[in-house]
Structure 1
Amino acid sequence: MKKKIIFAGTNKFSKIHLNELIKKKFKILSVITKPDSILNKKKNIFSEVKKISIKNKLKILQPKSLNSKKIYKYLKNIKPDIMIVVSYGLIIPEKIINLFPLGCINIHTSLLPKLRGPSPIQYSIIQGKKKTGITIIQINNKVDSGDILYKKSINIKKNETYLTLIKKLSILGKKSLIKCLNKIYSNTIKKTKQEEKKATYTKKIKKKDGLINWNSNASNIEKKIRAFIPWPGSFFFIKKIMIKIWKVKIVKCSEKNIPGKIINANKKGILISTKNNLINIKILQIPGKKKNKTKYIINSYQNLFKIGTILN
């Protein structure tokens, strides 16, 4: 008899894993996803997970909280075997976890116990990690601290952005999930406790975190720009206009300049000084316009990027 799965997730990363389970013909009893926003509901705009669930005629649950008595009663009555959580976004209460004979498992996008918390992909780029990966854990009542069931690593390239890295992790994640489930189902899984002394944590990224601090090192700025594509994006203000940065190159410079000073602005880019070295903006975005290479923008906005201007 096939094991009965409850799947919980919301975004595109979740959808890729749910789609893999559907393709491999695993038995999914219900899909739990976050409630639609009022605005999206009126426009019939649904999460990626809800869309694929509708397409495949899966039962959809959208509780505001899993502490709901109604949800608990429903799950208890249908007697599921395992719960798979992928980028769901809400806390799984212990009473829900205890309903599943095979446990409640979570796919995390880092090599746990490193980079626990909500933003492991961004932090792996910001911190200049050489490797990251997928860790599948047994969920307990603490954040990302459950026993490790499966772990697989990949290399982080020098020019990696959030978008390129999450794409690679999605492919690795869906393959890892199937391998892990097969081991759980055949009772051949080996659990490994996490080393708490090695644990590090990430914080939830906010829109304001995208504001460039020119007093930082050029290397730190460049890594943050890659980590924040596409959200929250990296940006600065000039004449109260928000300029969004999509791609930069570091230019070595032994000469000391005031951080945030525009050193040059031409078709080769916009050179801005930092705590050390220079940042050359290659692709940027003006409000109301599409992102574009600096060489195609600079002529129309030469007065905006005057040499010698000091950015806050």
Structure 2
Amino acid sequence: MKIVFFGTPNYVLPVLESLHKTFKSKAGESPIAAVVTQTPKPVGRKQQLEYSPVDTWAHKKNVPIYFDGNDLIRNKVQADLGLIASYGKIISKEVIEHFPKGIINVHFSLLPEFRGASPTEAAIITGQKEIGVTIFKIDELLDHGPIISQFTEVIQKDDTVETLRIKLFKRVAEVLMTLIPAYLQDKITLRDQDHSKATYTKIVKKEDAFIPPEFLNVALQGQAFKGKWNIPFIKDFEIEPTPRVIERYIRAMQPWPIAWTNIKILRDKEIKRLRILKSHLESSATKATKPVPRAYTLVPDLVQLEGKLPVTWKQFLEGYTDIKFIQNPDIQT
């Protein structure tokens, strides 16, 4: 068995490690014929190159490393199967057809729901009780190919995108150890997706983490803003910005780009960004003189004013008693 692994971040390493250990030959040869990962990028003041965790793993294991899938063809890399786990680039038809058994992909939704780049964020924001995982054979269209296997995992009330990715890839690593041999031996019947039920997500951008201050003003009082919130990275989706929804949004923006809003420090007459790193919900019965059944108040736990270190919400309010959440007309949202 020979596999080319397409992936980049650290949370896919359990999959790589399991493949390497489980399917290593008796002579100690790795089943990983090569990895394809993101190109190293310059970071920090010194602009030193930062290599992806998958790149670093492959270097230690003496596994060939490529930054473009087409290089597999040019270098005549031979493998039975390609496996994608958070790679981050589009793969050409020529590369797909290079593998006798094609390429399979790990996607965090029950396809055809939440096709695209941000299914985990979408699952949290829309209040799903469970998040799905689909392992499918890719074709030329976005998350469109036939399904090999699906399963679900419960979303806990404090789960973020980061914690879900870590948990899900650990489980994926276990599932693939039996799934890949069965797939290669044609023991699995693939099934087409119901394309009429497809929904779509887009890449989350830094500006998408902005929470309109008027939403926060009422959420901190245990109320919902009267209107709809258009979620920019979920196609054709809007939702009422209740305290519960905003709390989910804050979790969905972890570990990146981190939720933020604008505040005005009245004594300085400045508008600054305030990042909301963590929050929770409290029953409005403890906050309001006329409690509303099943109503909640948003309570920030950890915040960070631009140019400052993170502090608790209590510490922040003690240091800044004259703040106001305000829309900054100079910032495009």
TM-score (norm 2): 0.77
SS in structure 2 of the partner of residue 298 of structure 1: helix
The alpha-carbon deviation at position 301 of structure 1 amounts to 2.5
2:255 counterpart of 1:230: yes
Match of 2:73 in 1: 72
How far apart in 2 are the matches of 1:42 and 1:59? Answer: 25
Q: CA RMSD in A?
A: 2.4
The alpha-carbon deviation at position 224 of structure 1 amounts to 0.6
How far apart in 2 are the matches of 1:91 and 1:152? Answer: 25
Match of 1:165 in 2: 164
Correspondences of 1:242-261 after superposition (within 5 Å)? 242-251=273-282
Correspondences of 1:131-280 after superposition (within 5 Å)? 131-213=130-212, 214=215, 215=225, 216-239=241-264, 240-251=271-282, 278-280=297-299
Match of 2:254, as an amino acid? I
The alpha-carbon deviation at position 247 of structure 1 amounts to 2.3
The alpha-carbon deviation at position 292 of structure 1 amounts to 3.0
Q: Which runs of 4+ in 1 moved over 3 A?
A: 38-42, 249-254
Please identify, of 49-58 and 156-165, the stretch whose mean Cα deviation from structure 2 is larger.
156-165
The alpha-carbon deviation at position 173 of structure 1 amounts to 1.5
SS in structure 2 of the partner of residue 22 of structure 1: helix
Identity among equivalent pairs (%): 31
2:326 counterpart of 1:311: yes
Match of 1:82, as an amino acid? L
SS in structure 1 of the partner of residue 319 of structure 2: coil
C-alpha change, 1:53 and 1:310, in structure 2 (3 Å) is: closer
SS in structure 2 of the partner of residue 299 of structure 1: helix
Match of 1:293 in 2: 312
SS in structure 2 of the partner of residue 98 of structure 1: helix
Please identify, of 40-49 and 17-26, the stretch whose mean Cα deviation from structure 2 is larger.
40-49
SS in structure 2 of the partner of residue 121 of structure 1: helix
Q: Cα deviations across residues 60-107 of structure 1 (Å, max 9, x unaligned)?
A: 1113xx4x4x54232xx3432111111111111111111211121111
Match of 2:309, as an amino acid? K
SS in structure 1 of the partner of residue 157 of structure 2: coil
TM-score (norm 1): 0.82
**Cα contact 2:6–2:85 (8 A) shared by 1:** yes
The alpha-carbon deviation at position 300 of structure 1 amounts to 2.3
Please identify, of 12-21 and 34-43, the stretch whose mean Cα deviation from structure 2 is larger.
34-43
Structure 1 alignment gaps of length 5 or more: 255-262, 264-275
SS in structure 2 of the partner of residue 113 of structure 1: coil
Residues paired across the two proteins, number? 281
Match of 2:236 in 1: none
**Cα contact 1:150–1:176 (8 A) shared by 2:** no
C-alpha change, 1:22 and 1:42, in structure 2 (3 Å) is: farther
Match of 1:62 in 2: 67
Match of 1:290, as an amino acid? L
